[in-house]
């Protein structure tokens, strides 16, 4: 998987450690790329609950793939996993807390808008 253009921009245009959040982790592939950034902290938010496209067994399998992939990375100690939806997770952080927000959660229009607003 290639780095996303926003991630390349952040990597190439910042020189200080960043506080980053990813909404929607699934198998953890993008999280591993985010873990390569100059990080202060990385928060990974995903409720891992069944939804229209995936039943609970599929979601559980995705989480079982993601957790060891993230835990085995050298920057795992800078990473916190928040197993809840973005709206609930947003209550733990003040506005403008993050340097970089990567949203890849609910891909429906309403879901994406909810993630952006949170």
| CATH number of the domain encompassing residue 81 | 3.40.50.150
pLDDT of residue 4: 83
State yes or no: pLDDT of 22 exceeds 60. yes
The per-residue pLDDT for range 48-92, each reduced to its tens digit, is: 999 888 999 999 999 999 999 999 999 999 999 999 999 999 999
Please report whether residue 82 resides in a domain: yes
Domain total in the chain: 1
- 89-115 pLDDT per residue, tens: 999 999 999 999 999 877 677 867 787
pLDDT over 70 at 2, yes or no: no
115, part of any domain = no
Residue 1 clears pLDDT 70, i.e. is over it: no
**85 in a structural domain:** yes
Structure tokens at 2: 């290639």
For the record, the structure tokens of 34 come out as: 């985010």
Distance CA 48, CA 85 (A): 9
Q: Strand 39-45 and strand 100-103: pairing?
A: unpaired
Burial of 93 (0-12, 13-18, 19+ CB in 10 A): middle
């Amino acid at each position: 998987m290639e780095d996303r253009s926003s991630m390349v921009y952040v990597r190439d245009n910042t020189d200080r450690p960043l506080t980053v959040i990813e909404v929607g982790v699934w198998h953890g592939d993008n999280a591993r790329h985010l873990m390569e950034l100059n990080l202060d902290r990385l928060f990974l938010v995903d409720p891992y609950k069944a939804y229209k496209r995936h039943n609970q067994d599929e979601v559980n399998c995705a989480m079982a793939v993601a957790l060891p992939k993230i835990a085995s990375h050298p920057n795992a100690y800078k990473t916190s996993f928040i197993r809840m939806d973005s709206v609930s997770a947003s209550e733990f952080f003040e506005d403008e807390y993050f340097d970089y927000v990567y949203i890849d959660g609910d891909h429906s229009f309403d879901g994406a808008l909810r993630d952006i607003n949170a």
